[in-house]
Structure 1
Amino acid sequence: MDLIILLVIAVPLLVLLWGVVIYNGLVRLRNLVQESWRQIDVELHRRHDLIPNLVETVQGYAAHERQVLESVTAARAAALTPASGPAEQAANEDMLSQALGRLLAVAEAYPQLRASENFLQLQTELATTEDRIAAGRRFYNANVRELNTRVEQVPSNIVAGMFGFTRAEYFETDDVARAVPRVDFGGRTV
């Protein structure tokens, strides 16, 4: 009789403990995804802040390249607009990357611009920021993968469904943005 009472008490306690452990794990993963997205957001803002200086520098040397300069400005404005999620943000950033690629290609035609210390510094900062964004994207997507796996796997999907945990969106770029533009400034490849 005592064994039955012990089982009646122990089994629900174990199930409750199991649920708490899974819930806490899901909360931890959700917070990691949010934190890693904030890190990407910081780097995206840094990138967006560098672009006006880069455009202004190029404009000083290549004023008649108005269409390219305007496309970069428009793409930056779109990227600064709050997105509904990582997928929309990635699409906006892809447009910006393509516009920047065209801007850097235009810069190849201007030897004085290629020699400008300000332009070279901005280009180096932009490349460093792009590397940070790529690293942040890998970290974020790894956390998203882990959360999504937990949300879908049995038995944690039961707890996830009960408490409203959902899959997170990946932050992915398209194939055009993945190809890093190669720019050659008179023997100095960037």
Structure 2
Amino acid sequence: MKKGTIILIAVIAVIAIIAFSCVETYNSLVTQRENVDTQYSAIETQLQRRIDLIPNIVNTVKGYAAHESEVFGAVSDARARLAGASTKEEAAEADSELTSAVSRLLMIAENYPDLKADTQFTALTDELAGTENRIAVARKDYNDAAKTYNTQIKTFPKVIIANLFGFEKAEYFEAADGAKSAPQVNF
């Protein structure tokens, strides 16, 4: 074989290895981005579960405390904002507002012993507590996936492929200001 042919084969082999590596890196980033999207979808599912549960709680409380219309309005408004949120930031802010409004609603129960004893109310609040736990787990899973993805798009050599194909940073699902301290609810 001629020396020129050997060099040509070596160059083609190097190009093939680089191309294969680029394709593998691209596919890896796509997979990680899809994982981030899937984890965010899990948050949305749990938030929707809470949105669907809250009217039942409100209606149960209304039966005992019909004059608490300000709190009912706050819950309704916050629920509508969360349902209509179009970005992760809007969803996080609306989620925080809804959590606060629901906490105020649940504090009303302290003034109504019959409400606290109502089996439907107890079952609904237990279901709400379970939903809140699911939301917390879904947020953690999403933020873990976002961290892994964000790390990958910033490390060399994947940063080259990420920039070349427009892979953007995934935003973390963070609590809004004021949500760091949990309200006290005693039944």
TM-score normalised according to structure 1 size: 0.92
SS in structure 2 at match of 1:112 = helix
Q: How does 1:30-69 map to 2 (within 5 A)?
A: 30-69=33-72
1:117 is matched with which residue: 100, 116, 119?
A: 119
AA partner of residue 134 (structure 1): A
Deviations 1:118-140 (A, max 9, x none): 11111000000000010000000
SS in structure 1 at match of 2:179 = helix
Number of positions where the alignment pairs a residue of Structure 1 with one of Structure 2 = 184
**Partner of residue 135, structure 1:** 137
Question: Which consecutive residues of structure 1, in runs of 5 or more, have no partner in the other structure?
Answer: 186-190
AA partner of residue 28 (structure 2): G
Q: In the alignment, is the contact (CA less than 8 A) between 1:90 and 1:173 conserved in 2?
A: yes
**Partner of residue 146, structure 2:** 144
Q: Quote how far apart the aligned CAs of 1:106 are.
A: 1.4
Q: Quote how far apart the aligned CAs of 1:155 are.
A: 1.1
Q: How does 1:67-106 map to 2 (within 5 A)?
A: 67-83=70-86, 85-106=87-108
Distance 1:179 1:53 in 2: 26
Q: Quote how far apart the aligned CAs of 1:150 are.
A: 1.3
**Partner of residue 31, structure 2:** 28
Q: In the alignment, is the contact (CA less than 8 A) between 1:47 and 1:126 conserved in 2?
A: yes
Question: Which consecutive residues of structure 2, in runs of 5 or more, have no partner in the other structure?
Answer: none
2:179 is matched with which residue: 168, 177, 180?
A: 177
1:8 is matched with which residue: 2, 7, 11?
A: 11
AA partner of residue 105 (structure 2): L
Q: Quote how far apart the aligned CAs of 1:175 are.
A: 5.7
Runs of 4+ with deviation above 6 angstroms: none
AA partner of residue 138 (structure 2): G
Q: Quote how far apart the aligned CAs of 1:178 are.
A: 4.1
CA RMSD of aligned residues (A): 1.3
Q: In the alignment, is the contact (CA less than 8 A) between 1:43 and 1:132 conserved in 2?
A: yes
Distance 1:131 1:80 in 2: 19
